[in-house]
Amino acid sequence: MDAEQQKDGCTRRTVLITSAAGVAAATLPHAGQAQQAAGHAPATAATADLPLADVTLRINGQPHTLSIDPRVTLLDLLREQLHLTGSKKGCDHGQCGACTVLVNGRRINSCLTLAVLHEGDEVTTIEGLGEPKKLHPMQAAFVKHDGYQCGYCTPGQICSAVGMLGEMRGGMPSHVTHDLAGPVVFSDEEVRERMSGNICRCAGYPNIVAAIREVSEGAVA
């Protein structure tokens, strides 16, 4: 630093600080104006209530007529309004399969579909497959083969496995609860491929595959 700079009190540091302060002061008002120009709607307008929609579904064999927000997913309807909490909310993006249920015998991710789209449909959750004293064959096989660890994914795994067997037989049997008669032979690789939409974070896949193969081949009554 030369003597002239010291005398005037002007250094490289003070020049940089002064310049930065000037730029910030000049740009802040424009940033506020840009936000206003973007037309951000008030939060209340974005989340305004919609008229309720009436929907009737058969869930686990029982009719339910409800007035619901049309934005409610089937998963949230089951869990929050009907208290059928067996179907789990995992990723909420259709990637983990924990929310799998059967709709008209077909397996779907209930977090990805709106409840209002299922007017008149037959929905089967894990609660509708069996009960403690009369387990569904797939439930019994999962218990026998220890096809679960933490158990969070298990309801979706079981519903998906039941749906998969129905798909292989050309459609679900008339009594989804217990009628899985007729063997279907899978390889381990095919079971893994057909169940690839259901993730087990505990990595209990070998036991899950063993349970499904036992049921598919008719070894479980």
CATH number (1.10.3720.10, 3.40.50.300, 3.30.750.24, 3.10.20.30) of 53-127 reads 3.10.20.30
For the chain, the structural domain boundaries read: 53-127, 131-216
- Phi first, then psi, for residue 44 (nearest 5°) are -65, -35
The residue to which tokens 């797939």 are assigned: 138
Class of the CATH-defined domain 131-216: mainly alpha
Rounded CA separation 109/57 (Å): 17
Q: What is the mean pLDDT of residues 3-31?
A: 51
Q: Which residues of 86-105 are buried (b: 16+ CB within 10 A; e: fewer)?
A: bbbbbeeebebbbbbbbbeb
Does 2 score more than 70 pLDDT?
no
- Amino acid sitting at position 71: R
Decide: 163 and 121 in contact? Cβ < 8 Å.
no
Mean pLDDT of the chain: 82
Decide: 97 and 79 in contact? Cβ < 8 Å.
no
pTM (2 decimals)? 0.73
Range with the poorest average pLDDT among 21-25, 58-62, 97-101, 119-123: 21-25
Decide: 189 and 153 in contact? Cβ < 8 Å.
no
Binned at pLDDT 50, 70 and 90, residue 185 comes out as: confident
Share of the chain above pLDDT 70, in %: 71
Does 24 score more than 70 pLDDT?
no
Q: What is the pLDDT of residue 108?
A: 97
Q: What is the pLDDT of residues 28-76, one digit of tens each?
A: 444 445 444 444 444 444 456 789 999 999 999 999 999 999 999 999 9
Q: Which of 163, 199, 192 is nearest to 180 (CA)?
A: 163
